[in-house]
Structure 1
Amino acid sequence: MNSIEAPTREFKFSKKELEEFRKNGYAGPFTLYDPEDMNEITKKLRYSLLDRSNSVYEFNEDINEINDRANYDRHLDVPFLMDHVKQPKIVDKLTDVLGENVLCWRSEWFPKYPGDKGTDWHQVDTFEFSSGEPQLVWPQKEDFGGTITVWTALTDATIETACLKFMPGTHEELFYDESKGVDFDPDAIHDGFFGYDYQNLQKDSDWVPDESLAKSIEMKAGQFIIFWSTLMHASHSHLGKTNDMRLGFAARFVPDMVDVYPGNPKELTEFGSTVSLEKYRTVAVAGVNRNPNNIT
């Protein structure tokens, strides 16, 4: 049974922050690293990410890199990222929402280059849309549960450089049906989400999100924001007024009672590529993993 020391609770949500999180579906931004320190860390981190020799998923030269899982779950082989997902300033808040036993089950990094279009509005519950099978199953197969995402700005993120935007309070009603699935369109590589169109998942194809309700989340390098994956979220386009790439790192967390990759498959097919899960594991960032269905 994998375990970690109890969270410090020094950085837990205030009563007001927790109430707002439950109401809006997100909280933050919170400062974790000094912006100047983060800029130096990011320079070194980008070199670390290029070294995939110890990554969980093998890089396939025959598959378009942007559609490959090679840079998923890099917290499992990059020490800084492993330390990051266990940061008390993050974990103390997670336990307020998820309970005392919390697992990090996935991480991803999200670049936006000058000229890239924004990511479409979307909600994610089970991640079935990307693989054809639910990747998360909550106890009693609840209608939806989702995952908590902690999105950290590794560089400054502004409206001009593709910061995130949310629809507050939309985390308790799903407007998308992940069972529809999405197909990869290489001609739309900079549209939607790396060539996938979330609009195809809308329950009502004529429904149009009300942009007037959107809240843009500008962040300085080193800040993070916490939100439910079921919250409607998107990003602005990178307007290209600067040559700087916007880079974010997303870590995803669930309570240990949630089954991750149900049935413990030996490989995962997602976004058109298949990878081995032989070296994959969840990481307990708080408490213990009491769920024998989850690999730690």
Structure 2
Amino acid sequence: MTVSTLPRLTDEEIASFKANGFIAPIKVYEPEQMEALWRAERLRLMDRSAAVYDLDSLSGNTNIANYDRHLDSRMLAEHVFAPEIIGRVSSILGPDVLCWRSEFFPKYPGDEGTDWHQADTFANASGTPQIVWPQNREFGGTITVWTAFTEASIEMGCLQFIPGTHTQMNYDESKEMRYNPGQINAMEKDGGVRRGFFGYDYRELQIDPNWQPEVEKAVSIELRAGESVMFWSTLMHSSHPHVGNTKKMRLGFAARYVPTCVRIYPDTDAIEEYGGSIKLDRYGAALVAGRDEYGHNRLATETTRGFKFPDAR
């Protein structure tokens, strides 16, 4: 697709994004459209016969099973290529962009919140970088576009950010966290919020063990179904627990984007994190805008079911 014709951030929005590390809301679908799309697709996704990660070979109890369903689902493939998303991402990353990962983030009634965290290389569970920017780049990370497939209110566990924290890492991702899925993290100092991190205590990665996030500066990002928030993964972020008086799940779908100069899963043929591992033999990044003049990464040009990705220009 031609980047110059896509919906782009205004100069004011770019300045705000650079200062705060996020922008929201971005309307991708009307709520009724989102509801209809998801009602149909969630049934199709139960068929994992074409998924790039085989559950039979998946070791450990891990969220990896939720990764990269855009590589077998046409609806999710069209979503990660959505003009409303790609134009805005390209406004920050430049004309040549890859989608390197997508994942679901469900939160059910009674679920705890997610701990405050940042991600630069996404080595935060194994110590092995999953994305590596060129050495001449001062900073890394990914732009995440988190789309509410259902309503995301404070009571249902919406995201929280601490604005302006995306330019300095407070965590050392070269460390390894201890996987303990039975642990319940201590109540945080920001009002006693019950939080966890997929069986880990993210605070084990803190560069300064006495450091505390400035939670008094946090903002909550409530979204209607079909709306997105775009943010740097290096921004301090978390989520509220799901405490709403409803039986409805809160479901977010995150698509992660990097420029084509970034190396994805360098020197590895498997994802190892969160108590599990999976082989990458069927994985490919998707070129969502521009050209790939680097050739660092294996690219997928269609879903495993034969839906061809839109041409990137």
TM-score bin, normalised by smaller chain: over 0.9
Q: Which runs of 5+ in 1 are unaligned?
A: none
| Contact 1:102-1:285 within 8 A present in 2 as well | yes
Q: Following TM superposition, where does structure 1 have runs of at least 4 consecutive aligned residues deviating by more than 4 angstroms?
A: 61-65
Alignment pair present for 1:220 and 2:230: no
Alignment pair present for 1:125 and 2:120: yes
Task: State the partner residue of 1:267.
Answer: 270
Aligned to 1:293, the other structure's residue is in SS state coil
Q: Distance in 2 between matches of 1:62 and 1:174?
A: 31
Of 23, 39, 47 in structure 1, the residue corresponding to residue 19 of structure 2 is 23
The alpha carbon displacement at 1:141 in A equals 6.2
Of 99, 116, 130 in structure 2, the residue corresponding to residue 104 of structure 1 is 99
Task: State the partner residue of 2:296.
Answer: 293
Q: TM-score, normalised by structure 1?
A: 0.93
Q: Which runs of 5+ in 2 are unaligned?
A: 185-193, 300-313
Of 26, 45, 48 in structure 1, the residue corresponding to residue 44 of structure 2 is 48
Are the structure 2 counterparts of residues 141 and 270 from structure 1 closer, same or farther at C-alpha, using a change threshold of 3 Å?
farther
Alignment pair present for 1:57 and 2:57: no
Q: Distance in 1 between matches of 2:88 and 2:266?
A: 27
Q: Distance in 2 between matches of 1:239 and 1:262?
A: 40
Aligned to 1:285, the other structure's residue is in SS state strand
The alpha carbon displacement at 1:210 in A equals 1.7
Aligned to 2:125, the other structure's residue is in SS state helix
Over the residues paired in the alignment, what is the CA RMSD in angstroms? Answer: 1.7
Percent of pairs with identical residues: 49
Q: For 1:228-267, list aligned pairs within 5 A.
A: 228-263=232-267, 265-267=268-270
Task: State the partner residue of 2:183.
Answer: 188
CA displacement, residues 254-273 of structure 1 (integer Å, 9 cap, x when unaligned): 0000111113x222322232
| Contact 1:188-1:194 within 8 A present in 2 as well | no
The alpha carbon displacement at 1:75 in A equals 0.5
Aligned to 1:227, the other structure's residue is in SS state strand
Are the structure 2 counterparts of residues 44 and 275 from structure 1 closer, same or farther at C-alpha, using a change threshold of 3 Å?
same
How many residue pairs were aligned? Answer: 290
Alignment pair present for 1:33 and 2:37: no
Partner amino acid for 1:35? P
CA displacement, residues 115-134 of structure 1 (integer Å, 9 cap, x when unaligned): 11100100000011123211
The alpha carbon displacement at 1:48 in A equals 2.5
Q: TM-score, normalised by structure 2?
A: 0.88
